[in-house]
Amino acid sequence: MRWEKERFKVIKRVEETLHRWSMFPPGAKVLVAVSGGGDSLVLLDVLVQLADELKVGLQIVHVDHGLRPESGKEAAMVEEVAGYYGLPCRVFRVEVSKKSGVSRLSPEEAAREVRYRAFHEALKESGAERLATGHTADDVVETLLLRLISGAGPAGMGSIPPVRPPYVRPLIRVWREEVRRYQRFLPFAPVQDPSNLDLSIPRNRIRHKLLPLLEGEYNPSVRRALLKEADTLAALGELLESLTRQAEQEDVTADGRGLEVNLASLRARPLAVQRHLLASCLRRIEVEPRFELVEDIRLKLLEADGNPCLDLGSGLVAQRSYRRLFMGPRAAPVPMEETLIPDEGAYFLPGPGLRLEIMLRPREAGEPRRDRADPHQALLDADRLSFPLQARGVRPGDRFHPLGSPGRRKLQDFLVDLKVPRSERGRVAVLVSAGEIAWVVGLRIDERFKVTEETTRVAALKVEVARG
């Protein structure tokens, strides 16, 4: 078949795009979203030309949002187009209103939401494997700028993907100007949507004001440059998603109440993976992963000392607890029972749910090594301890001499200085020797029990969240 030059150029570009991204499986049933606008009519005409070669069956789906008085005529026009091409057509009439559950969104976002609901229903009804939409290369560029201005994560910077099954975008490498030139050869005049000229809509301001400014003042080829950037960012986003999925499988477990993250493993990950994984965990507990919140968690819970806690709202918390980061519902305080520790060994501490190990051994040369400092391990001078020891919760009036401090102080003031939330202080455990606090578990040892050059035997202590 011979096509006019303008049509040939677009058809060949679409054909290359379809093959490059394997958009249509052989013999696939494909829905084509047709609004009646120029992009969708060109998409339909191109796919009709290629359908036999691709061995795919086409059907048309149209969504009538009812937002404009002429929307009914546009739906009738799409049905007429379907008749011209001899294709089945399904028209969905939807309502964009509070009843549709999208009142929290802007009008444009709400329309998109109900449109994709209709697409999902159409796919289910028809049994089609793919649904093609008329997004062009210009849509990719505009979306990239829109997300850059409003803020989006690395994946969002990839803009509009060519394929996100079951949705495909065959025109994704065709420019809107090429689509306009193609429209001269269509059997129907495209519908003109006046909302595309409404400058109160951010995307339209980017299309009609920002991009022309960038082209005129900075780079005449800015659209092509941004399209390449979107491609690059999309590939980096895919890599980040892959690394984050792997990290999530290895570092995150669901404990029945919420999520637990292995902090040592997460700290070893690249910064981008740390942020992406924390954002993913927040989404899993239905908290919006704002950048500021992700950074708060990363800086205060991954890097700070102690076992701090952040309130996430709606009864949810993010809390570091002895080598692990918990994200989920705030736990009800559990009274901490006193545990008697007669000698070295392993002991379970009810309340905080910790496993405490104590081993007595000779002091090694150079101990304690500050380069190996770990708040969940401690070395005490064994000869200064008086067994049996007691592990218990914090009590009113408790005092101790924090390592490195000039003297004794109230334990409550110490916890306040470390910003341990009042609601979490009931989960702090202390190890007591002959009535004196030797270790505020996981936070600080007492100066009087530290290992010195005169120490001959050490008590090596280790605490971790009890598993199972």
pLDDT band at 150 (very low <50, low <70, confident <90, very high): confident
Q: Residue 354: what pLDDT?
A: 83
How confident is the model at residue 350, as a pLDDT?
79
Mean of the pLDDT values across residues 220-225?
96
Confidence of residue 465 (pLDDT cuts 50, 70, 90): confident
pLDDT confidence band for 105 (50 / 70 / 90): low
Percent of the chain with pLDDT over 70: 92
Q: What percent of the chain has pLDDT over 90?
A: 63
Q: Average pLDDT, stretch 397-405?
A: 93
pLDDT at 305 over 70: no
Confidence at residue 1, expressed as pLDDT on a 0 to 100 scale: 61
Q: Does pLDDT of 4 surpass 90? A: no
Which residue would you say has higher pLDDT here, 200 or 136?
A: 136
> Is residue 302 pLDDT above 90, yes or no?
no
Return the minimum-mean-pLDDT range out of 294-303, 383-392, 415-424: 415-424
Where does the pLDDT of residue 321 fall: very low under 50, low under 70, confident under 90, or very high at 90 and above? confident
Per-residue pLDDT at 287 exceeds 80? yes
Within 10 Å of residue 132's Cβ, how many Cβ atoms?
Answer: 29
For the chain, domains (ranges, CATH) are: 5-219 (3.40.50.620), 255-329 (3.30.465.60), 339-465 (3.50.40.10)
Overall average pLDDT of the 68-84 stretch? 88
Lowest mean pLDDT among 121-125, 192-196, 312-316: 192-196
Mean pLDDT of the 109-119 span: 86
pLDDT of 101 higher than 90: no
Q: Is the pLDDT of residue 280 over 80?
A: yes
- pLDDT: which is higher, 349 or 465: 349
Q: According to the model, what pLDDT value does residue 457 have? A: 95
The predicted pLDDT at position 307 comes to: 62
What average pLDDT score do residues 418-441 get? 86
Q: What is the pLDDT of residues 359-386, one digit of tens each?
A: 999 998 888 776 556 778 899 999 999 9
Averaged pLDDT of the chain: 88
Q: What is the pLDDT of residues 158-173, one digit of tens each?
A: 778 999 999 999 999 9
CA-CA distances (angstroms) from residue 458 to 158, 210, 304?
56, 69, 27
* pLDDT higher than threshold 60 for residue 308: yes
pLDDT band of 99, cuts 50, 70, 90 = very low
Q: Which two tokens stand for residue 115?
A: 């449109």
Mean pLDDT across 107-129: 88
Query: What pLDDT was estimated at residue 179?
Result: 96
In tens, the pLDDT along 431-462 reads 999 999 999 998 899 999 999 999 999 999 99
The pLDDT tens digits for 335-360 are 678 899 999 999 988 777 788 999 99
